[in-house]
């Protein structure tokens, strides 16, 4: 699978692994990160809000100690600043805390920004963001956003897609799991015919369904027009 280049010429692995997990289950994140690195993933999607940076750090140290041929710079680790930490001193604290745990920053970006927000920000930003991480899947294609880093965060309950996944011998689940078999299945590259791509595109027709909304987790309403 070819890795795209960001506009600062930094390569980002095309397939990443979401590290959001049940913080009440101690060790789950650590075990999952070890499994995904063994499976070949080199991109971890993380966030301070997930409250598991320490487990990710422990997993990385353990895995690197057993795989000396792979270096920290071979991994792309995405961190996210939550909307309620928008004051300069909060941004600095969150950044320094994450950098101390997971390593240096090579690229910066935004998450869940609308086109109008991006256009306004680009008028004053001194550094152009390298990516806009958004939810995207057949039920929410987000085609209008163009070239972006995309994430799918929720299983899709659709008979046609489930049948296609069964036909291809893969699991119809997102790239976020603590199950080692699913982790490995999600890393398999599947070739699709034009007809099969059409099946996926057809699932998007007439749909605009958002599974993940920051309003639920942080009270920050990114898309007020969708609830009006």
Catalytic residues: 50
Query: What are 103-112's contacts with CB under 8 Å, separation 24+?
Result: 103/72, 103/77, 106/8, 106/10, 107/6, 107/8, 107/10, 107/12, 107/131, 109/78, 109/133, 109/149, 111/80, 112/214, 112/222
CA 100 to mean position of chain CA atoms: 21
How do beta strands 17-18 and 150-151 pair?
A: unpaired
Q: Is 46 helix (H, G, I), strand (E, B) or coil?
A: coil
DSSP lists the bridge partners of residue 43 as 76
CA distance 145 to 148: 7
Question: For residues 64 and 71, what is the distance between their CA atoms, to the nearest angstrom?
Answer: 7
**Of 26, 79, 35, residue with least CA distance to 55:** 26
- Strands of 43-45's sheet in order across: 17-18, 43-45, 76-78
3-state secondary structure at position 165: helix
């Amino acid at each position: 699978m070819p890795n795209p280049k960001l506009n600062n010429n930094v390569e980002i692995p095309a397939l990443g692994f979401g590290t959001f997990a049940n913080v009440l289950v101690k060790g789950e994140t650590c075990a999952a990160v070890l499994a995904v690195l063994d499976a070949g993933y080199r991109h971890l999607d993380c966030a301070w809000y997930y409250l598991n940076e320490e487990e990710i750090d422990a997993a990385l140290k353990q895995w690197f100690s057993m795989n000396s041929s792979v270096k920290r710079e071979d991994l792309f680790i995405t961190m996210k600043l939550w909307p309620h930490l928008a004051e300069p001193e909060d941004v600095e604290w969150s950044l320094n805390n994450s950098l101390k745990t997971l390593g240096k920053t090579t690229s910066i970006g935004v998450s869940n920004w609308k086109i109008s927000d991006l256009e306004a920000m680009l008028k004053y930003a001194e550094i152009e963001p390298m990516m806009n991480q958004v939810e995207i899947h057949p039920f929410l294609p987000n085609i209008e956003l163009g070239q972006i880093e995309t994430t799918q965060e929720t299983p899709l309950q659709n008979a046609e897609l489930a049948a296609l996944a069964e036909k291809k011998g893969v699991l119809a689940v997102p790239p976020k799991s603590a199950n080692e078999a699913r982790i490995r299945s999600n890393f398999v590259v599947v070739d699709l015919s034009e007809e099969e791509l059409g099946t996926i595109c057809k699932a998007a027709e007439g749909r605009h369904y958002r599974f993940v909304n920051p309003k639920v987790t942080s009270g920050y309403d990114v898309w007020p027009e969708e609830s009006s």
